């Protein structure tokens, strides 16, 4: 069952999420000497990044032990306004003590199919294993219930061999569901209906991509502001 965290405001929700990130980072570094995390795109992670880049978390977190990846990316240059990598670099990576050798961006200078293939190899080499295990994968959810770049009706939802696929370069469900922890960050009343549909779906309803994120042996967290949670019952 997912752990649902509801906060009064989006800023408070980001703070709660940052506490989870810090705790998971501390545990992973203690146990394995590194923290492998996949960041998400969109606008919602900006609040979380701002908290993590604050003085408190710059001091608390062992940034040199982080290994950073991205769960999806548009086929754009890394300096493009719509690049998830650029957003993370400007809001987080440029403000903390990371080794650039530990920042693994999706190589969008290649065509999407090659970029996905190259990125899959990067993940395998860095994390090892037939299906490598991330310590944390951060995700958002779109108005249509998509997550990462897994959209309703997409063939990528059926992929069971590849770890990364194209055209919108994205992690696949087998890789996401192997993670030790997955955390959704969702805010705003415009997402409330989809949040309710994913977390409290009626029997027989068609599952949305976000509904299919169910880590086999890991934790699943949903961080919501009160507006995004307004249609949930019993929370």
Q: Could you read off the pLDDT of 56-100 as tens digits, one per residue? A: 999 999 999 999 999 999 999 999 999 999 999 999 999 999 999
Per-residue pLDDT at 21: 99
> Angle, to 10 degrees, between the axis of helix 84-91 and the axis of helix 45-52?
30
Per-residue pLDDT at 205: 77
User: Sheet harboring 3-7: ordered strands across?
Assistant: 3-7, 219-225, 181-186, 136-139, 35-39, 66-70
DSSP 99: -
Q: Does 10 score more than 80 pLDDT?
A: yes
pLDDT digits (tens, 9 = 90+) for 161-204: 999 999 899 999 999 999 999 999 999 999 999 999 999 987 77
In a domain, 234, yes or no: no
Helix (H, G, I), strand (E, B) or coil at 204: coil
In a domain, 57, yes or no: yes
Domain total of the chain: 1
In a domain, 119, yes or no: yes
In a domain, 231, yes or no: no
In a domain, 230, yes or no: no
pLDDT digits (tens, 9 = 90+) for 125-150: 999 888 999 999 999 999 999 999 99
Range of the domain at 168: 3-225
Distance of CA 30 to the CA centre of its chain: 22
pLDDT digits (tens, 9 = 90+) for 20-61: 999 999 999 999 999 999 999 988 899 999 999 999 999 999
In a domain, 232, yes or no: no
Specify the CATH number for the domain of residue 206.
3.40.50.1360
Distance between CA 171 and CA 228 in Å, rounded?
25
- Is the dihedral angle over the CA atoms 23, 209, 169, 95 positive or is it negative? negative
């Amino acid at each position: 069952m997912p752990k649902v965290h509801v906060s009064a405001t989006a800023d408070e929700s980001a703070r709660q999420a940052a506490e989870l990130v810090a705790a998971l980072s501390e545990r992973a570094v203690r146990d394995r000497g590194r923290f492998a995390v996949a960041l998400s795109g969109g606008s919602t992670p900006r609040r979380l990044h701002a908290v993590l880049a604050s003085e408190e978390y710059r001091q608390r977190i062992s940034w040199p032990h982080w290994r950073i990846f991205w769960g999806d990316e548009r086929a754009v240059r890394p300096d493009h306004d719509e690049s998830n990598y650029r957003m993370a670099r400007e809001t987080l990576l440029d403000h903390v003590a990371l080794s650039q050798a530990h920042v693994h961006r999706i190589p969008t200078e290649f065509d999407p199919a090659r970029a996905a293939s190259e990125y899959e190899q990067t993940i395998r080499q860095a994390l090892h294993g037939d299906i490598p295990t991330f310590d944390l994968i951060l995700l958002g959810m779109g108005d249509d219930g998509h997550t990462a770049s897994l959209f309703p009706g997409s063939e990528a939802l059926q992929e069971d061999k590849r770890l990364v696929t194209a055209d919108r370069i994205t992690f696949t469900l087998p890789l996401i569901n192997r993670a030790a922890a997955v955390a959704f960050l969702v805010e705003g009343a415009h997402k409330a209906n989809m949040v309710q549909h994913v977390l409290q779906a009626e029997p027989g309803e068609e599952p949305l991509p976000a509904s299919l994120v169910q880590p086999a042996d890991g934790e699943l967290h949903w961080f919501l502001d009160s507006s995004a949670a307004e249609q949930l019952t019993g929370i």
